[in-house]
Amino acid sequence: MIDERERLGRYGAVRGRIEQLLEAETDWIAALATVVCELHHEFAHYDWTGFYRAVSSELLVVGPYQGGHGCLRIPFSRGVCGAAARTRTTQRVDQVSSRADHIACSSSTQSEIVVPVLAPTGVVLAVLDVDSDQEAAFGDVDQSELELICSYVGTRFPLGELPRI
């Protein structure tokens, strides 16, 4: 595990690359794929990194992501991802087996952080889900930095994948 100072520096570098890569990007899915790729390959403790996109006011659908298969659909009423979407707040779980509502997409997952992506209007566009095979893999630095990234994505793509007519 890397220490907090190094972790903070890496997040700063990732945020810089994401902003640079997305500067002229207009496609929501391409943007999400870029964010996932940058995060997943920067941190060894990220074993599954992906977005679940809000396709209605009550349903999340997987993608883009990196790692093994994820759950395909998650209602806002179920699991850690659903809780993040429903409450519009970050969910950080140090040991997923202690959370009764955790949906086990992978038996190796030990900890998880899920951050909502909100439009400026407060509408849930997606959630960023990061799983680790290590217990208590995510701390305050991870949470604050991932919240910054998700805020940027929500502000930069406020309509998500809604049709642009």
- Structural domains in the chain (count): 1
Residue 40 is assigned to a structural domain of this protein? yes
Q: Give how far Cα 141 sits from Cα of 1, 2, 10, 29, 90, Å.
A: 13, 12, 11, 26, 13
pTM: predicted TM-score of the whole model, two decimal places: 0.92
Residue 164 in domain: no
Which of 135, 131, 149 minimizes the C-alpha distance to 67? 131
Burial class of residue 98, CB neighbours in 10 A (0-12, 13-18, 19+): exposed
**Bond before 158 cis per omega within 30 degrees:** no
Read off the CATH number of the domain in which 133 is found. Answer: 3.30.450.40
Give residue-wise pLDDT tens across range 70-120.
889 999 999 999 999 999 999 999 987 776 665 666 667 789 999 999 999
**pLDDT one-digit tens code per residue, 34-61:** 999 999 999 999 999 999 999 999 999 9
- With cut-offs at 50, 70 and 90, classify the pLDDT of residue 69: confident
